[in-house]
Structure 1
């Protein structure tokens, strides 16, 4: 009796609705707090000399990636091609959890980030971005006389 009242994948629809509501409520990310569920997933850390940003982007063509730094905002943008079945294959897709399409992640960098000291490398689906801190902001030891 209940099968006729509820769609077969009710839990999948509830999960999708929760994800959509979470994304609508997320504020813009910053270096001190990143929301979850964005693509690519980010790990952000810092040392005295640099900020280290790791973006997990498997299946991304390096030519489709764009990393920019403008007015203290670091932007990672690109596109991930889909692998969904073609209509002529007459295949049914039951679950598709892999993100595909255009993406853009923007994060605010601290004031001591050096816009001239940015380096980005993509290797095995891991984008590593290093943003150097300005020399004046780096800690230094002062000798006591």
Structure 2
């Protein structure tokens, strides 16, 4: 059970929060494709024989503020998610603020066989779906033996 106080006077709660933040910043699993956690938006990348599919999970982001670029086999998804907290002049206090807000940027290196001229991007229900077709010459074909 995680104990969290709404008021910062609780020393143990503050210590737990700090420990959690340190753990999140240090606990990552590097791989050949980069760091696997901690980025916003969270992404899934997969492929089929005919396309590469990228899903970026970005709820609360205005689709007009998302910039998708593909250059030299590198896909970049950038944008900004606005804060939902009251402005400082409202003199309101946020006791817990775990929602990411601010500018973001994710970069994905793509395989060499993609067709940069056939890219489609759709944003629906907080999910950005980018589909990039593979070149026809790159598709595997069966060769009959005589």
TM norm structure 1: 0.83
The SS at the match of 1:9 is helix
Matching residue of 1:76: 77
Task: Tell me if 1:19 matches 2:20.
Answer: no
Q: 1:88 offset after TM fit, Å?
A: 4.2
Matching residue of 1:143: 144
Q: Distance in 2 between matches of 1:50 and 1:8?
A: 48
Worse overlay, 8-17 or 68-77? 8-17
Q: Which runs of 5 or more structure 1 residues have no equivalent in the other structure? A: none
CA RMSD of aligned residues (A): 2.3
TM norm structure 2: 0.83
Worse overlay, 52-61 or 85-94? 85-94
Q: Distance in 1 between matches of 2:100 and 2:137?
A: 41
The SS at the match of 2:123 is strand
Distance 1:126-1:37 versus aligned 2 partners, 3 A rule: same
Q: What is the 5 A alignment of 1:1-145?
A: 6=11, 8-22=13-27, 30=33, 35-145=36-146
Number of equivalences: 137
Q: 1:76 offset after TM fit, Å?
A: 0.3
Q: 1:20 offset after TM fit, Å?
A: 2.5
